Structures are given as C-alpha cells and as structure tokens.
Amino acid sequence: MSLDYCAPLRDMRFVIDEWIGAPEWWCGVPGWADLDAATAHQVLEEAARFVMERIAPLNAGGDLAGCRFENGELTLPEGFRASYRDYVEAGWPTLALDAGHGGQGLPYLLDVALQEMLAGANHAWLMSPGLTHGAAACLIAHGSADLRATWLPKIASGEWLTTMCLTEPQAGSDLSLLRARATPDAAHDGYRIDGNKIFITGGDHDLTENIVHLVLARLPDAPAGSKGLSLFIVPKWLEDGAAGRVRNGVHCEGIEKKMGLKASPTCSMRFEQALGWLVGEPHRGLASMFVMMNAARLQVAMQGIGHAHSAWQRAQAYAAQRVQMRAVSAPPDYAGEPGQPAPIAFHPAMRRTLLDLRAVVEGERAIGYWIGHWLDVAARHAQAREREAAARLASLLTPVAKAFFTANGFAAASDALQVFGGYGYIHEYGIEQTVRDSRVAMLYEGTNEIQAIDLLVRKVLADRGETLRALLDHMRTEAQQCGAVALAQPLGARLGALADEVGRVSGGLLRASSQDAELPYRVAGDYLALLGWLLLGFAWARAMRLACGASADDPFYAEKRATAQYFFDYPLAAFDYRLRLIEAGCQAPLPHV
C-alpha cells in the first residue's frame, strides 16, 4: 500500500480537454495558437513530477519539525529552502504570468491545476509562494511604472517572497478597524509605517533574500473606516547605494502555535518607522488589496480540492488492503473466499464514504478548473463583452468555490480519517495532518461566512440576479444536451429542475429582502451550499453525458458513469436539505438568545 501523494493527471486531462474543452478555445487565442492538449499535459506531467518527487515527501516531516524561531531568526523545516529554490528556477511561479512581464504566458487554468497538486501534496509548503501570483497581479493593476520596474521582476519570479499584511488584533473580518499608520517621508519619496500586524503568513523565513510586505495602513488625513486605508509596499531589506543592504523597520515578534500548517510560519509583525511606498491611490488600498484577495480566494478553493483529493486517495488505498470482517457483498470479480474477512473497501459503509468523497472531489475539480478557465476568457477573449461576462461569472463563482470546497475539504479529510479506524488518529498515517491542515482554509482569505454574504448580498442580490441567470443558463444548456443521451437524460432533467429551483428561490429572496433586511444574512450560508450542490450536479450531469460518448469499456469512463449516477442518487439529497433551511429562514424568525 502506498499512501504517497499521486497527482490526478488522468482526471485533470478529462476536465481540461473534455469537460471544459479548453484546448479548442485556446487555439483561437492570440499567442496560444500552438498550445494544444498534448503540450498542456506535458506541462502538468512535469509539474506533477516536481510536486510528487520534491514537495510531497516534505509534508509529514515538516509537520513534525515545524518552524523554528530563535534569536529573531526564522528557519523553515529541512528541505523547504532547497526545494523552493528549484521551484523558482524551474519557473513554476511565472507559469501563467504574461510574457510581457517575464512570464511563460500559459493559461491560468494550468496554474489552477498546479495549485491543486501543491495543496494536496503539502499545504504548508504551498503557503510560502501562495501570494506570489496575487502580489504580482496587484502591482500590475495598481503599481506605478517606477514601482513595477523596481519590484515586479523579483516578486513575480518568486525570487523574493511576499506577504499580505491586513489583520490587526482588533481588526479581522472588519478591516475598517485597522489602526496602522503611514506618515510621508519626503527624503525617500515614500512613507514611514508604524503598527502591529498579526496572522502574517511568511512574515519572516529563510527561503528568499528579501521579503516584500504589502501593508494596509492609514495616511494622516485618512477618513475613518475602510475607505481610509492605503496600500504600501514595505521590504524587509532596503537597498542603499552606499551602505549596501540595510534592514528596514520590519520585525517578526513571534510565531503562532497552530492546529496545523506547522511548517508555515504565522507571524506577529511590528512595523516601526518602516520605509514603504504607496501602491495605487491614497485611501484606495482596499481596492488594490482586493485584486490580491480574489486571486487568493480561488487558490484557497483549490486547496479544498487538493485536501479532499489526497484524503480520498489515501482512504481508498487503505481500504483496498485493510482486511476486517466478512463482506455482505463483494465485487463480481472478487476471488477471495466467501465468509472470510475481506477488504474493508467492500463494506457498504466504506463504499458510501469513498463514493461520497470521489463525487465531491471530481465534481469540484470540474467546477474549480472551469472558474480558472473563465478567468482566462476574462483576460484573453477578443470581445470586451465576453471578457466582462466571464469576469462576472468568475466573480460570482469564486466565493462559492472558496467556502464550499474548503468546508468539503475539511469534511472529506475527517470522513477519510474514519476509514482508517483507530489508525486514522495516529500521525504516521498522514490523514490526521490533512484534517488539521485543511481546517484553516475555512477561515483565511475571508471566513466562509464572509464568502456567503459576499455571494448572496453582493454578487446575487446587488445585480438583481443577472449574473446568476447567466450561470443558470449554462446549467439549462447542459440539461438540454443531456436529453440526447439515454443515461444522462434523467440527470439532465433533474439538473434543469434544480436550476429552476435556484432561480425561484433567488427571486424570492430578492423580493423578501426589501421587507426583511436580516433575511439574506440569515440564509447566506445555506444559499452558498445550495449553489455548491447545484454546481456539482452540473459537473456530474455533464460528466455522465461525456462518459457515455466515450468507449464504454474504458474503466475510467465506466467509473465516471457509476459515480455520476451515485451522486444523483445519494449526495445530491443535500440540495433539498439546504433548500429547506432557506425556506425556514424565510419563515421563521431567528431569536437573540
């Protein structure tokens, strides 16, 4: 039995080539004419090799060793520094960066797949380069030409790592309460930053020669609240022509003892007269920061998939070889003696769990990559209208993916742990680490509760359901296409009915919210989960349709069909459960107790 991480290359190919049909679209995009499916797969195979050989083996050891913080120096576990350098040298951070900014200019869709692999193999390791993409995007969108020239090459390449300094002890979800201050320093054409920041991932470490912090702080004339925040770029080391490198006033004061991600330092930072430069307009820092946060939110969604996938994979491998109890039923080709103890993978309770996990993982992969694809469309489509529509769709889907996938990632890890019985509770089998590591993704980059409010209040109700209708049209088109394929037809019919149901419920919420301002906040979490189950229904209906077209003998497609049918038979019952809770929210008041 191997419990090592194994990248899901076959399913990635299915999703990219067939489910999304991305290569077909790529060939019409300027610069991507030569990018075919085979090339994309080569890239992913290369990435998978690096992840499996260099990153995955550091996961368990990194968890045990943790980070050391001694005499003000932060050291990451053995192997992290060397593997990170090779990661940068191989050019992985710039995979999807525009060639104009020194990147390889490949589809973001491929980067999304890379994110999934890194998260599944070693979430803590991934935390270090996790903000590179977002920081580069932020500088490209909001940095002056000067700032870009100075910082972008080293940030985008990963040569210098970045942090996002938002949270302060009194200001977590509510950034309007931030207190850090910035005062002009004319001599350096910059600002001096003072304040304390907490929960700063990679606030200090030994991976790169410099660390660049993106810090939210208030200018002297700033209005109160979140509209008075400005964004500054603040390096750990300053270049000083005469003196060489000098330390900036940025200090790591300590690291948190966390439930998981022990190989990723979470720092308390003190900024003391730290020299920095303004990114974007004064008082508009939150808008600049949101560029970073949106990129980060989809990455976090991919972490949910990575965790669920690696948990499922290990549980499946364990269940196939662990022999306990005779089985009440066995696969037709089972050669073992009846009445004798059998692999636990045959036991119905284990099959339910393993199928639940598989249905969630593969369904989410289709949806997660689809969002990545929409971001490519938003960036590269020839027509502005299509670009805008794609951006709106991705922006609607991102909070669903962030919250639904991460909640499922944690639940999947715990369900997979259960397959291991008592062994699941022991560090050696790795699955308890997945439970601990995956839990954070429901909290950071905006708690899942914040995502739900973002979805329902800002993305659905604020545009009166317009973007939602575009999404539902995709479902209805799929439902129609399923009609032509015998096995897919009933799934398509149900998908169409669910889409109608979501449309009806959303219209009802839109109308009722004007009378009952609390309503959307009462049901936002259930509404997000409702959309999540609808999206998985969409994923599996289309998967069923595609798997019927292919050679029926290929076990890959046979398993797709079986899982698609299972998903509609069993787990999709959760859609109705969420619907009931939303109806409850519409009818029953919520007491203050």
Which positions are annotated as active-site residues?
445
Cβ at position 207, least distance to a second copy in Å: 22
CB of 261 to a second copy, least distance (A): 8
409 binding a second copy? (CB under 8 A): no
549 binds a second copy (CB under 8 A): no
- Min dist. Cβ of residue 220 to a second copy (A): 23
In the bound complex, what is the minimum distance in angstroms from residue 451's beta carbon to a second copy?
A: 11
- Name the phi and psi angles at 457, rounded to 5: -75, -50
Using CB under 8 A as the binding rule, whether residue 396 contacts a second copy is answered as no
Task: Among 38, 328, 335, 486, indicate the residue that binds a second copy (CB under 8 A).
Answer: 328
**Residue 24: CB minimum distance to a second copy, A:** 29
Give the nearer residue to a second copy in terms of CB position, either 29 or 60: 60
Smallest separation (angstroms) from a second copy to the CB of 417: 7
Separation between Cα atoms, residue 497 and residue 482, nearest integer Å:
13
Subset of residues 504 to 523 that bind a second copy, contact rule: CB under 8 A: 517-518, 521-522
Closer CB to a second copy, residue 49 or residue 227? 227
Smallest distance, Å, CB 340 to a second copy?
10
Pick from 117, 134, 411: which is nearest to 290 by CA? Answer: 134
Stretch that binds a second copy, among 72-80, 294-302, 330-338, 465-473 (CB under 8 A): 330-338
DSSP state of 94: G
Nearer to a second copy, 272 or 518 (CB): 518
Q: Between 426 and 462, whose beta carbon lies closer to a second copy?
A: 426
Nearer CB in complex with a second copy: 39/565 = 565
Q: Which of 280, 285, 525, 532 binds a second copy (CB under 8 A)?
A: 525
What tokens appear for 229 in the block? 């925040």
Contact status: 307 vs a second copy (CB under 8 A): no
Q: Which stretch binds a second copy (CB under 8 A): 106-114, 132-140, 326-334, 379-387?
A: 326-334
Residues 258-287 that bind a second copy (CB under 8 A): 258-260
Binder among 134, 424, 430, 492 for a second copy (CB under 8 A):
424
Contact pick of 410, 538, 540, 557 for a second copy (by CB under 8 A): 410
- In the region spanning residues 425 to 484, those forming contacts with a second copy, defined by CB under 8 A, are 425-428, 432, 435-436, 439-440, 442-444, 447-449, 452-453
Looking up tokens 């054409």, which residue turns up?
A: 189
Q: Which of 61, 223, 331, 507 binds a second copy (CB under 8 A)?
A: 331
How many residues sit close enough to a second copy to count as binding (CB under 8 A)? 86
Which value, to the nearest 10 degrees, does the dihedral of the CA atoms of residues 29, 30, 35, 40 take? -70
DSSP 175: G
Give the whole-angstrom CA distance, residue 278 versus residue 494: 52
Q: Which stretch binds a second copy (CB under 8 A): 148-156, 240-248, 350-358, 369-377?
A: 350-358
Cβ at position 474, least distance to a second copy in Å: 26
Q: Could you tell me which of 582, 430, 463, 437 has the C-alpha nearest to residue 519? A: 582
Contact with a second copy (CB under 8 A) among 1, 82, 90, 325: 325
State how far the Cα of 293 lies from the Cα of 321, in Å rounded to an integer.
42
Q: Which of 101, 181, 352, 476 binds a second copy (CB under 8 A)?
A: 352
What string of DSSP letters covers 22-67? Answer: HHHHHTTSTT-TT--HHHHHHHHHHHHHHIIIIIGGGHHHHHHH--
Q: For residue 192, what are the contacts with CB-CB under 8 A and spacing of at least 6?
A: 182, 183, 184, 185, 249, 273, 274, 275, 276
Q: How far is the CB of 159 from a second copy (least distance, A)?
A: 29
Residues 255, 258, 262, CA angle at the centre, nearest 5°? 80
**Subset of residues 554 to 583 that bind a second copy, contact rule: CB under 8 A:** 559, 562-563, 565-566, 569-570, 573-574, 576-577, 580-581
Report DSSP letters for 184-240, one per residue: EEGGGTEEEEEEEEEEEETSS-SSSS-EEEEEEEB-TTPPSSGGGBEEEEEESEEEE
- The residues in 173-232 that bind a second copy, with binding defined as CB under 8 A, are 173-174, 176-177, 199
Applying CB under 8 A, which of residues 341, 504, 552, 554 lies at the interface with a second copy?
Answer: 341
Longest dimension (CA), the chain: 84
Give CA 27 to chain center in angstroms.
Answer: 27
Query: By CB under 8 A, is residue 40 in contact with a second copy?
Result: no
Question: Coil, helix or strand for 483?
Answer: coil
Q: How many CB atoms lie within 10 A of CB 515?
A: 7
- 357 vs 552: CA distance, rounded Å: 24
The answer to whether residues 119 and 131 touch, using CB atoms and an 8 Å cutoff, is: no
Using CB under 8 A, pick the residue from 183, 273, 329, 480 that binds a second copy: 329
CB of 364 to a second copy, least distance (A): 17
Q: End-to-end alpha-carbon separation of the chain, Å?
A: 51
Using the rule CB under 8 A, is 253 a contact of a second copy? no
Residues between 136 and 165 that touch a second copy (CB under 8 A): none
Give the footprint of a second copy on residues 69-108 (CB under 8 A): none
Taking the C-alpha atoms of residue 257 and residue 325, their distance in angstroms, rounded to an integer, is 41
Evaluate whether 69 touches 254 at the Cβ level (below 8 Å).
Answer: yes
Alpha carbons 488 and 239: distance in angstroms, whole number: 62
Per CB under 8 A, 337 contacts a second copy: no
The two structure tokens encoding residue 401: 């993916």
> CA-CA distance, 367 to 405, in Å (whole number)?
10
